[in-house]
Amino acid sequence: MKVLLIALIAMLSINNAFSQTNFNEKSEIIDSLMLNHLVHKGKRPIYNILLYAKNEKTGYEYFGGQGSIGKRNEKRVEADYQYRIASITKTVVATIVLQLEEEGKLNVNDKAYSYLDGLDFLNFDEFLILNNTSYAKDIRIKDLLQHTSGIADIFTDKKSRFNISVFLNKKRQFTPEGLVDIYYKYNLNKEPNNKPGESMHYSDMNYMLLGFIIEQVTKQKLPQVIRDRIIEKLGMNNTYFEYYEKEYGNGKRVDTYLNRINMTKKINSSYEWAGGGLVSTTKDVAIFIEALFNNELFQNSSTLDKMIDFSDNKKYGLHYGMGISLYKFNDKLFYGHGGYYGSLLIHEPIDNITLSINVGQVKLPSNNKIFMKNIMDVIMNE
């Protein structure tokens, strides 16, 4: 028996050593892929890439970064550098809306009007007019979550006009109310994409309205609600709502670029708010999505099922649920969201595979899909 025990221990040691060697090789390959994807010259530089990945089935985990802070600072980045997660914020906001539904404080089938009518600056009766007819009262909370309200978007439908305004006033501090003023100034209330519930049109204004609804229901400011319900609950110590609360965490930031424009240092992005205002790290947002799929944020598993139900938008050829999208890698289905500044957060719930990445460039190169496939091949390989 003693001889058999010694043999088993020796076998386990060999297997563990082999696994560790295999994991080290995987990390070296990922480091090499990231280094090769950096670009320091040309119109679309990529100075840094941050990555967190975990495959629970194999036991593999990676947390690292390659490159420098940016052109202005050649200091090498580390794994826990912070960045703007942009629209990944929408998944956080959607989670809170569904938490409020579980608590009986709202229903996603409720008309948004019943929560927003009291906000004078919104003038919600006029928020969506199509062919001289107002349809604002027909918008459900569900339509806002799924981008089926038809509401136009400042950032895409008036992209040139808005960008010129931002670049001419790079340090301008926006407010949520001020963005509503801009929405009306651009006459976007009279340029909707569709009647509520009749098609999908991605619009940050949907999540602006959800932010207002959260504030109306909780009687708290949105940054505080996110901090109480998500950030502090999960111990996301390097995450905060930029421009609307004090900075939290290690204070280490990468520079992210739109072509050659340093968006981190030169542009005040307070216009993001509920549609994309969080700063975080790859590890912190991975903690969030893993908690989401481990049912740590909802009381009932059926709430998560509702969140990832794509049936309403599938008829339009799109896979977008309530603040969450569907992605496919190597025949496996991942759930998550992308962000404007080159970020992606996805999770595969069967084998529990998580990928959280930030590539510091808005205008990603044509080979980025190949880069992502190569990264995923390494992470998913058994």
The CA-to-CA distance between both ends of the chain, in Å, stands at 33
Distances (CA, A) of 171 to 71, 242, 353: 20, 14, 39
Instruction: Tell me how far CA of residue 50 lies from CA of 78, 120, 339, in angstroms.
Output: 8, 42, 14
**Chain-centre distance for alpha carbon 88:** 1
Report the distance separating Cα 159 and Cα 168, nearest Å: 14
- Which CATH architecture group holds 83-380? 3-Layer(aba) Sandwich (3.40)
For residue 286, the model assigns a pLDDT of 98
Position 376 pLDDT exceeds 50: yes
Question: Residue 16 above 90 pLDDT?
Answer: no
- pLDDT confidence tier of residue 315, bands split at 50, 70 and 90: confident
Instruction: Give the percent of the chain with pLDDT over 90.
Output: 90
pLDDT tens-digit series, residues 346-369? 999 999 999 999 999 999 999 999
**pLDDT over threshold 50, residue 142:** yes
Instruction: Report the range of poorest mean pLDDT among 7-16, 66-75, 143-152, 192-201.
Output: 7-16
C-beta of residue 334 within 8 angstroms of C-beta of residue 347:
yes
The confidence band for 11, taking pLDDT boundaries of 50, 70 and 90, is: very low
Q: So where are the chain's domains?
A: 83-380
- In this predicted structure, what is the pLDDT of residue 38? 97
Q: What is the pLDDT of residue 5?
A: 38
Flag whether pLDDT at 18 surpasses 50. no
* Mean predicted confidence (pLDDT) in 273-278: 97
Confidence of residue 345 (pLDDT cuts 50, 70, 90): very high
Q: What is the pLDDT of residue 47?
A: 97
- Asked whether the predicted pLDDT for residue 82 surpasses 80, the reply is yes
- Position 346 scores a pLDDT of 98
Mean pLDDT of 302-310: 97
Beta bridge partners of 51: 64, 357
Residues 6+ apart with CB under 8 A from 161: 186
Residue 19: per-residue pLDDT: 63
What average pLDDT does the chain have? 93
- C-alpha to C-alpha distance for 53 and 177, rounded to whole angstroms: 38
Does residue 382 surpass a pLDDT of 60? yes
Exposed/middle/buried for 153, CB within 10 Å: 0-12, 13-18, 19+? buried
pLDDT tens-digit profile of 41-80? Answer: 999 999 999 999 999 999 999 999 999 999 999 999 999 9
What DSSP string runs through 319-337?
-B-SS-EEEEETTEEEEEE
pLDDT in tens, 233-264: 999 999 999 999 999 999 999 999 999 999 99
Report residue 275's pLDDT band, with 50, 70 and 90 as the boundaries: very high
